[in-house]
A and B are shown apart, each in its own frame.
Chain A
Amino acid sequence: MIHRRLFISCALCVLLLYASLILSLLYFFRLPVLEQSLFSARTLFSIRLSLTAATAAALLSVAVGIPAAYALSRYDFPGKRWVDTMLEFPLVVSPAALGAILLIFFHNPLGSWVQKTGVSFVFTSYGIVLAQFVSTLGVATRLVKSVMDEIPERYEWVARSLGASPTMAFVTVTMPMSKKGIIAASILTWAKAVGEFGASITLGGSMAMRTETLPIAIFMRLSTADIEGSVVLILILIMVGLLVLWAARIFGREKPGA
């Protein structure tokens, strides 16, 4: 009985910690500030940029992550262990360091050439997308790999014995079977991209109406001691985040009777 109570208490402590931090924001919450912020062009731009950049970055991460995860799950190849280890690279280096690495890259000869002849990333919204993509690619691959590890290779073998090529077996069997897990992984990747700050501000900068995402806008408000402004933006970010988490739970849940 003590064991049960202790473990439940720990779970409730988690809720208590996060809920109390969120509720503490209300001390500085001002409704007029919310109204002003919510309909200001600058805030709306930040929301739009956060949503579109995160969506683009998450889509790219998952598009690359799915085949990468499949290879890690199913195949043996030279360098596999290195790939597996590097998936956690963005987590190990701090986001600011990741952004700095990207910034430094675009100042070397190759990066400069890309900037001049291809897309410009430094201090542009493309840089925000790139920073978020680099930050989330490892996580997306890791999450999708976990999903595919749960699907026995036997299903693909049976599909192939029934006449499917390896690609057709992947498309018609593996992908449908991992659909829910991939959607949940995509949503979590998107959530991570929305909250990305360090790499985004280092590479993209913090220019209002150009590269100012919601997390960057929060930081900029705080750095000018605009607490009420920060609180409003934080609450907006929390609402977006909670919606996403709720969606992830819905998609990750098994259908009754399955």
Chain B
Amino acid sequence: MIMGPNGAGKTLLLETLAGFRRPREGEILFDGENLLDMPVELRHIGFLPQDLALFPHLTVEGNILYGLRRRGWEDREARLRVSELCEAVGIANLLKRQTTTLSGGEKQRVALVRALAPGCRLLLLDEPFSALDRSTRREMWFLVKELQESLAMTVLMVTHDMEEALFLGDTMSVMIDGSIRQTGARRELFENPNSVEVAQLMGIRNLFRGRVSRAEKREIHVRCQELNGTFVGVRPLHSTVEFVQGAPVTLGIRAEEVAILDEENLNPDTENALSGTVISIFEKGTSRILLFEPSGSRSQIEIEERVGRNDPRAIEAGRRVTVQWRRESLLVLPEPRGGFVAFPPFVPSRGRD
């Protein structure tokens, strides 16, 4: 899975791998073979563009048979293959339909089957589900996973949707401004982004500038003016950055990792704790977003808490509380290239309490 914001170069990368564009330099190695000079039609790489590109002059059956005919399949075997795949994917009843009359979800399925039918060693998916509604998109996620496992195939997909990336991606890479910034298992990227840009893509909105006040073997102490406090985080295991005293860093903490403590129990020496006021609360279905302003600071921390309806422990706006996070949850990141761009506080379109 390759995840990145719009304009990162994800589509360009896929098109280059498929052979539609030629890189100025470098090689494309797949299973030890250099594909750089290999014609597109000989690479056996399936490609699903964002708009699916179903052939409007052919029926559903014609579209799916297209690749089989080009690859020299005999008509009887080709139709059998079409029939089997369409049954498996649930589109057998659409074979005689014109592709222009299909719904979004139906088109996705047809496009997937068309790409898979001739057999391919690698399937490239370019944000194929971005135009679908949430429920249909989730159906397609399960379908892709199922097909990937049953056909034992490598799938390389690009997306800008974090949830989609985390659901589908066994291995993930984050691409920003044309370069891969981090690659690893999805859990690794989610829990240990290696830069502010990656952290922002992974959904971390609480990012604050600070300076290293003390760097030890296993932990780093950071003085953060924005939050008016000093915080302790675990030294990243594989960081290439030198965390020396005085070095500028960025602290990151997930909204759901911030716990709200009972203020009466506040111990001033409690590690990674801040007292302050809840400024605003936004309802989000089964969770709420609280904007918390630490005492002596004008910055705000987003806190996501899951509460049941009419929960008596639910905090109201204006209340003074103490928040805290574990040192393992605090990310200590190098200062971003090109300077820091602060994320605005979360403001949903409706549902404000």
Chain A residues with a Cβ under 8 A of chain B? 152-155, 157-165, 168, 172-173, 176-177, 179, 257-258
Contacts and interface: CB of A to CB of B under 8 A. Distances in A.
Contact of A162 (B19, B56, B67): B67
B294 interface: no
B256 interface: no
Contacts of B40: 157, 160-161
Contacts of B53: 152, 154-155, 157-158
Contact of B118 (A152, A160, A162, A168): A162
B100 interface: yes
A176 B57 contact: yes
Contacts of B71: 162-163
A147 to B, nearest CB: 14
B41 A158 contact: no
B100 A163 contact: no
A164 B49 contact: no
Nearest to B43: A161
Interface string B79-120: 000000000000000000010110000000000001100100
Nearest to B117: A162
A161 B47 contact: yes
Contacts of B43: 161
B18 interface: yes
B49 A157 contact: yes
Most buried by B among A158, A164, A165, A179: A158
Nearest to A155: B53
B101 A160 contact: no
Contact of A161 (B46, B100, B101): B46
A157 B47 contact: yes
B47 A164 contact: no
Contacts of A258: 56, 98, 100
> Which 3 pairs across A and B sit closest by C-beta, in order of nearness?
A162-B67, A163-B70, A160-B40
Interface of B: 15, 18-20, 39-41, 43, 45-47, 49, 51, 53, 55-57, 66-67, 70-71, 98, 100-101, 114-115, 118
Contact of A157 (B18, B55, B67): B18
A152 B55 CA distance: 11
B70 A168 contact: yes
24 contacts: A154-B49, A155-B53, A155-B55, A157-B18, A157-B40, A157-B47, A158-B49, A159-B70, A160-B19, A160-B20, A160-B40, A161-B18, A161-B115, A162-B71, A162-B115, A163-B41, A163-B118, A164-B41, A164-B66, A165-B41, A173-B55, A176-B55, A176-B57, A177-B56
A164 B70 contact: yes
Nearest to A157: B20
Given A152-B53, A177-B57, A258-B100, A158 B47 contact: yes
A11 to B, nearest CB: 31
A162 B18 contact: no
Contacts of B51: 152, 154
Contacts of A179: 57
Nearest to A164: B70
B66 A161 contact: no
Given A159-B66, A161-B47, A163-B71, A177 B20 contact: no
B39 to A, nearest CB: 8
Contacts of A160: 19-20, 39-41
Contacts of B70: 159, 162-164, 168
Contacts of A168: 70
A162 B20 contact: no
Contacts of B39: 160, 165
Contacts of A152: 51, 53
A148 B115 CA distance: 24
A257 B99 CA distance: 12
A157 B41 contact: no
A172 B58 CA distance: 10
A176 B51 CA distance: 19
